[in-house]
Amino acid sequence: MKLKRILSLALSGVLAVSMLTACGIGGGSGIFGAGDQSSPFASTLNSKLDDATAEVIRYRSNDSELKNAIRTIANAVTEDMANSATGENFPEKLTTTVETMTTYGTLNISKWGVAEESGTYVKVYVFNATNDDYNTLDEVATEVKDSLATIDLPDATGNKTYNNTYKGNVAAYKVTIPTASSASGAKDAEAWVIGVAIEQTVTKK
């Protein structure tokens, strides 16, 4: 059994790397490494939720599959991608990769209704950490909070037939990519890579 598990993990790693390379988002060989900011990000995000939302969902940082997927993406972010990132304007293949690695569905940030089937959904955000609008954890958490507010979870907790309950998880990494520029004073690129997963549990009345 131990050998099977080792082989399975090795195969998963090979598939993840292959997927990133095939998508054209590999090439992070010069990256300094992604720093895990998941726990402080969860605390900061929770502190920004309005009272009604806080009663419905709280975000944790203990989803190892989500963290592994977001860390993989963070270490594949390119200099150009980091410098142009403003939250949601990133290649769709990043989210597709995270969805494949976690087996979660796509987190739609339009208004949610009461669901009839349980599921877990994920969304990826990438921010340019050298941009004055996104260079602190607090600023990034505010952007994510505002984005998630559009789904209005307090209004999707139940109807005459179903009750919906929610659990949240986040993964947050800050990564530095050495600049390829030889110009004097050229700065390294930095990016926040954030993953948000919402688990929706449906029970029939």
pLDDT, mean of residues 23-46? 69
Quick one: what percent of the chain has pLDDT higher than 70?
80
Lowest mean pLDDT among 3-12, 48-57, 115-124, 165-174: 3-12
What confidence tens digit (pLDDT) does each residue in 122-149 have?
999 999 999 999 989 999 999 999 999 9
What angle is formed at CA 126 by the lines to CA 121 and CA 132, rounded to 5 degrees?
Answer: 140
**pLDDT band at residue 6 using 50, 70 and 90 as cut-offs:** very low
Beta partners for residue 126, in sequence order = 87, 193
Residue 20 pLDDT more than 80?
no
**pLDDT band at residue 112 using 50, 70 and 90 as cut-offs:** very high
Q: Is the dihedral of CA 51, 53, 56, 57 positive or negative?
A: negative
More reliable by pLDDT, 178 or 93:
178
Residue 27 pLDDT more than 90?
no
What pLDDT is recorded for position 94? 80
Residue 49: other Cβ atoms inside 10 A: 19
More reliable by pLDDT, 141 or 88:
141
**pLDDT band at residue 179 using 50, 70 and 90 as cut-offs:** confident
Q: What is the model's pTM?
A: 0.82
What pLDDT is recorded for position 18? 43
What pLDDT is recorded for position 185? 67
Residue 187: other Cβ atoms inside 10 A: 11
Q: How far is CA 201 from CA 21, 30, 166, in A?
A: 35, 41, 6
CB 37 within 8 A of CB 74: no
| Strand 162-177 to 59-60 pairing | parallel
